[in-house]
A = this chain, B = another copy of it.
Amino acid sequence: MSQWSAAPAPFARRLLTVLGIDELGVYRVLRVADVETPEPRPGQFAMLATAERWGGGEDERPYLPRAFSIARRRIGESHFLLEDVGPGTRRLCELREGDGLWALGPLGRGFQPPRPRHRAILVGGGVGIAPLAILQDALEAEAATDVTVLLGFRDGARAQGAALLHGARVATDDGSVGHHGLLTELLSQELYRDSRAEVYACGPAPMLEAVRAMCATRDVPAQLALEAGMACGFGACYGCAVPKRGGGYLRVCVDGPVIDARELDCVSEHAGAPS
């Protein structure tokens, strides 16, 4: 089975063991032992919850599991990139070696490989860089595609996350690292240089919307990894809806999270990564 096709997820959440948690600027990289999980497709995600202390925080949250892109696979290991933005991510960031983690996945539709002789431009903002790491691994394993990586961050502490991928051009809002300005300015340069490209983007909603609009104008195919509040991750709750072009809604968890940009009129405010 190629790395672009996904095997079904095991039909129950599983208890995994934490191998370690590494700092990466303000982010954490969570490594878990994960031997039985079918190989995920780049862009797929898992629903995670700590085995202990899930619940009982302020306002008795978290209660439901949380969705995280599978950021990387190593033999017998899965890696996740975490940013502490609320009670669920906080608990996950507090995991230590040997702790238990509930995981369901891999879930969702991942990225499609680029057409032959097209450059892949990976555009990631903030913690949204996570699925681009495993995507870069996959693209480089095939060696057939030129890969350009553009990553944007709010500040220098976040920009350290860029180390998750390699060879990235970085932009920061505060100019502390790399280009001082918007990620889409870098993308614009890249598309100007050579528009035979396919764009793979994940990040905050305003960034995704800017990417979508730019690619639409220039007729460049774009695959957007969306986010949405999720209760289940496998199509059961219909909670993760985002409006689709022509009316109606997509379920981010089963119709996505990777969506062809042409399926959207715009990226709605709730459909992006924490910024």
- In the complex, what residues of B have CB within 8 A of residue A57's CB? 55-56
- Shortest C-beta distance, A100 to chain B (Å), equals 15
- In the complex, what residues of B have CB within 8 A of residue A55's CB? 55-57, 60
- In the complex, what residues of B have CB within 8 A of residue A56's CB? 53-57, 60
- In the complex, what residues of B have CB within 8 A of residue A60's CB? 55-56, 60
What band does the interface of chain A fall in when counting residues whose beta carbon is under 8 Å from B?
A: under 10
Instruction: Give complex CA distance A57, B53 in Å.
Output: 7
Instruction: Give complex CA distance A53, B57 in Å.
Output: 7
Instruction: Give complex CA distance A25, B109 in Å.
Output: 55
Copies of this chain in its oligomeric complex: 2
Please report which residues of chain A, range 179-228, place their CB below 8 angstroms from some CB of chain B when the two chains form the complex: none
Nearest B residue to A62 via CB reads B56
Instruction: Give complex CA distance A272, B239 in Å.
Output: 48
Please report which residues of chain A, range 58-94, place their CB below 8 angstroms from some CB of chain B when the two chains form the complex: 60
- Shortest C-beta distance, A37 to chain B (Å), equals 27
Instruction: Give complex CA distance A53, B94 in Å.
Output: 13
Nearest B residue to A58 via CB reads B55
Of A54, A56, A57, most B-chain CB atoms within 10 Å: A56
Instruction: Give complex CA distance A129, B56 in Å.
Output: 32
- In the complex, what residues of B have CB within 8 A of residue A53's CB? 53, 56
- Shortest C-beta distance, A195 to chain B (Å), equals 52
| A25-57 vs B, Cβ < 8 Å mask (1 yes, 0 no) | 000000000000000000000000000011111
| A88-130 vs B, Cβ < 8 Å mask (1 yes, 0 no) | 0000000000000000000000000000000000000000000
- Shortest C-beta distance, A66 to chain B (Å), equals 15
- Shortest C-beta distance, A272 to chain B (Å), equals 29
A53-B53, A55-B56, A56-B57 given; 8 more Cβ-contact pairs under 8 Å: A53-B56, A54-B56, A55-B55, A55-B57, A55-B60, A56-B56, A56-B60, A60-B60
Q: Which 7 A-B pairs have the closest CB atoms?
A: A56-B56, A55-B56, A55-B60, A53-B53, A53-B56, A60-B60, A55-B55
